[in-house]
């Protein structure tokens, strides 16, 4: 483990969680988030066994999460909320601690009404912080925030209106001018507020995030909530009594709004407005409006990814931090771009696997539509399965991130444990003459992972490249279905030729298929023939490879049925259709051919004609009167039997 958690009350500082898991000062769970222009957060689960369990207090206890590998404080804030005690399904009693970063202190003060005329950004921010600090300095000096770096410059009018200091900054600066705001500690351990132009904040890193290396998953989405396709620009207030404001109507052909034609064609009319109090001329307002519309008619495209922080094992030079820019490559969704991480979430027990959100990548409305069409029209390239490489990376990161443990050599075995006493250790590797096993429930197991001397391997998950086996036995065999892969099962003969394939298209078998029930009856499909029988022999055959010659000598491909008995049960009609589709069918009944002299009531059409009234007439005869022992083949033409009867 690499993270240490410190808490600070007015009576001093102590450890809540230490990287060395051998002691009692550790938490059951902890996850923290850093997010650009948002208050950082952390969620911690603590059990009563922790000595600091009763020293956690809402709003007054300060919390720091420190990366002991870099000695950098990655979360700095206070406890915001503490849940009541609860017990989970395994019987663990705990309470959940919700924390917010130091930026949240700006929510504790309210700025009074004040109008700042033609004030620079740094001057405005300093004024807000001065008032905030005047409120906090006496009772809560730990919440004092000084002015730091400011690279954003803009002279215009700003007005505070009884909102929190945080909301005033967002409303007057972030929403209008953009940029990135953060709260950090300086060398004197004082909190300071920095406000950067977006391109000035963060580093451009050399680490490339790509599929099958350090990108485990990736999803993307677009956000149209801020989209405006018709903008109403407003300038200074023209009439104090009515509140009427300057518009662009007199310099825009009488229309007080600006349209984005491409946006309207794609999404329809979506109106919005923006006010510039410092603009007094309509032509200047028109120019401001045009520039603003170019910004708001762009769609935010963002990505969420689970990545592997290979810097922990020395394979990458850069760790992942919000605000830094990395090259992200995923050919499956057409991504190859330098993107800034805007949010990072870390589980302190899995520091090698942070979840990051990247973007916002602003795209014109028309380009989004074109990309959507391209994605629909062209199939994404087929992805090569990289499960094995991901498993190797996970294993490498997990093993190399372990910095503490105890190796005990005893006369009959070697132990690797999280404490130096096998009576108290919970995570134990045992290696002796009988095998190698791991238990997370103590020295005596159970052992969920083991290799034993009888040749057995016990594991919940096995990842491998190629597995050779004489027999695979188990409850279920599932292939494909994950990470966009199709399953495939092949059966080859001794010469390597494929004789059977099961894939997404179905089953393809080059050979015979045999099915036999418990009663001994069987059916076989082989080389165009279906045969069936039981232990006494073959009683039925349907041959799809046969040919039949008619009376004119023409040979036809057909089906030959050979059987000791053929039974058509519940058959309402029996007949033969002609080439025109005008079939003549026998009467209702069933056909039961026992032998050549069986009684059969089905009628066979022998002749048809049109009578003097124009009605169709037909001559039929029962099948029992037609069949004879001496006649083996009967021919039908256009629905009529043309075989000459004896």
Residue 44 CA to residue 27 CA, distance in Å, equals 7
Is pLDDT at 132 greater than 90 in this prediction? yes
- Whole-angstrom Cα distance, residue 353 to residue 345? 9
155-159, 347-351, 380-384, 634-638: segment of lowest average pLDDT: 380-384
List, in sequence order, every residue forming a beta bridge with 274; answer none if it has no partner: 233
Q: What is the pLDDT of residue 312?
A: 72
Which among 378, 344, 430 is positioned nearest to 36, based on CA atoms?
344
State yes or no: pLDDT of 587 exceeds 50. Answer: no
pLDDT band at 105 (very low <50, low <70, confident <90, very high): very high
Q: Which of 68, 38, 42, 169 is nearest to 403 (CA)?
A: 68
Check residue 576 and give its pLDDT.
46
Query: pLDDT tens digits, residue range 322-352?
Result: 889 888 887 777 778 888 888 899 999 888 8
For residue range 564-582, list pLDDT tens digits in order.
666 655 544 444 444 334 4
- 470-524 pLDDT tens trace: 667 766 677 776 555 677 787 877 776 777 888 777 787 777 777 777 777 778 8
Q: Between the ranges 314-323, 361-370, 479-488, where is the mean pLDDT highest?
A: 314-323
A 10 A CB-CB count for 207 gives: 19
Contacts of 328 (CB under 8 A, 6+ apart): 209, 210, 215, 218, 303, 305, 335, 336, 337, 338, 339, 358
Lowest mean pLDDT among 58-62, 200-204, 514-518, 581-585: 581-585
Between 473 and 178, the more confident residue is 178
Whether the model clears a pTM of 0.75, i.e. scores above it, the answer is no
**85-101 residue pLDDT tens:** 888 877 889 999 999 99
pLDDT, greater one: 114 or 488: 114
253 cis-preceded (ω within 30 degrees of 0): no
The predicted model gives 169-173 an average pLDDT of 89
The answer on pLDDT for 157 being more than 70 is: yes
The pLDDT of residue 309: 81
Burial 4-25 (b: 16+ CB within 10 A, else e): bbbbbeeeeeeebbbbebbeeb
104 confidence band (pLDDT: 50, 70, 90)? very high
pLDDT of 254 over the 80 cut? yes
Q: How confident is the model at residue 299 (pLDDT cuts 50, 70, 90)?
A: low
Asked whether residue 117 carries a pLDDT value surpassing 70, the answer given is yes
Examine the pLDDT at 393 and tell me if it is beyond 70. Answer: no
Between 444 and 587, the more confident residue is: 444
Q: All domains of the chain, ordered by start, with CATH?
A: 3-104 (2.40.10), 111-200 (3.55.50), 204-222+300-377 (2.30.300.10), 230-296 (no CATH), 405-458 (no CATH), 565-641 (no CATH)
Confidence of residue 395 (pLDDT cuts 50, 70, 90): low
Higher pLDDT, 397 or 642: 397
Residue 458 in tokens: 């016990």
pLDDT for position 549: 62
How high does pLDDT run on average in the chain? 77
- At 165 the three-state DSSP class reads helix
């Amino acid at each position: 483990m690499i993270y240490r958690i410190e808490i600070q009350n007015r009576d001093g500082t102590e450890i809540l969680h230490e990287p060395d898991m051998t002691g009692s000062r550790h938490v059951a769970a902890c996850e923290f988030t850093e997010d650009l222009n948002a208050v950082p957060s952390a969620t911690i689960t603590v059990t009563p066994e922790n000595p600091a369990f009763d020293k956690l207090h809402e709003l007054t206890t300060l919390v720091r999460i420190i990366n002991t590998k870099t000695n950098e404080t990655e979360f700095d804030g206070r406890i915001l909320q503490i849940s009541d005690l609860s017990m989970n399904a395994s019987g663990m009693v705990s309470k959940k601690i919700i924390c917010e970063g130091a930026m949240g202190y700006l929510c504790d003060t309210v700025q009074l009404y004040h109008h700042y005329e033609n004030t620079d950004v740094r001057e405005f921010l300093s004024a807000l912080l001065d008032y905030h600090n005047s409120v906090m300095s006496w009772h809560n000096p730990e919440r004092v925030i000084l002015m730091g770096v400011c690279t954003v410059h803009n002279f215009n009018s700003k007005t505070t209106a009884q909102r929190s200091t945080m909301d005033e900054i967002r409303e007057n600066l972030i929403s209008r001018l953009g940029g990135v705001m953060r709260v950090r500690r300086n060398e004197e351990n004082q909190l300071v507020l920095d406000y950067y132009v977006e391109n000035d904040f963060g580093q451009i890193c050399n680490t490339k995030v790509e599929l099958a290396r350090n990108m485990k998953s990736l999803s993307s989405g677009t956000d149209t909530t801020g989209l405006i396709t018709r903008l109403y620009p407003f300038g200074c207030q023209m009439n104090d009594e009515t509140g009427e404001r300057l518009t662009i109507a007199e310099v825009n052909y009488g229309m007080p709004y600006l349209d984005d034609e491409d946006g309207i064609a794609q999404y329809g009319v979506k109106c919005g407005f923006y006010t510039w109090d410092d603009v007094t001329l309509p032509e200047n307002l028109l120019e401001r409006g045009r520039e603003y519309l170019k910004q708001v008619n762009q769609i935010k495209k963002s990505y969420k990814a689970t990545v592997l922080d290979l810097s922990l094992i020395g394979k990458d030079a850069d760790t992942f931090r919000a605000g830094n820019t990395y090259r992200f490559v995923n050919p499956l969704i057409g991504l190859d771009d330098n993107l800034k991480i805007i949010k990072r979430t870390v589980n302190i027990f899995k520091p090698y696997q942070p979840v990051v959100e990247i973007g916002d990548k602003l795209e014109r409305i028309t380009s989004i539509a074109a990309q959507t069409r391209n994605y629909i029209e062209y199939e994404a390239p087929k992805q090569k399965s990289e499960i094995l490489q991901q498993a190797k990376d996970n294993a490498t990161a997990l093993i190399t991130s372990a910095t503490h443990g105890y190796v005990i050599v005893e006369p009959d075995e070697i132990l690797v444990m999280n404490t130096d006493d096998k009576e108290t250790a919970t995570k134990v590797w045992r290696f002796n003459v009988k095998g190698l096993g791991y238990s997370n429930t103590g020295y005596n197991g159970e052992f969920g992972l083991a290799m034993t001397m009888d040749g057995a391997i016990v594991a919940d998950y096995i990842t491998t490249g190629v597995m050779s086996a004489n027999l695979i036995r188990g409850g279920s065999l599932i292939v494909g279905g994950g990470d966009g892969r199709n399953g495939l099962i092949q059966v080859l003969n001794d010469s390597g030729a494929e004789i059977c394939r099961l894939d997404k298209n179905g089953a393809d078998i080059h050979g015979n298929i045999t099915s036999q029930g418990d009663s001994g009856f069987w059916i076989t499909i082989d080389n165009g023939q279906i045969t069936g029988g039981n232990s006494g022999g073959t009683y039925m055959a349907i041959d799809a490879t046969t040919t039949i010659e008619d009376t004119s000598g023409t040979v036809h491909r057909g089906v030959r049925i050979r059987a000791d008995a053929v039974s058509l049960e519940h058959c309402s009609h029996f007949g033969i259709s002609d080439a025109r589709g005008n079939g003549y069918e026998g009467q209702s009944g069933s056909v039961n051919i026992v032998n050549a002299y069986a009684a059969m009531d089905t009628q066979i059409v022998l002749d048809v004609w049109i009578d003097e009234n124009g009605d169709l007439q037909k001559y039929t005869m029962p099948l029992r009167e037609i069949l004879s022992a001496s006649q083996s083949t009967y021919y039908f033409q256009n629905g009529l039997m043309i075989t000459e009867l004896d």
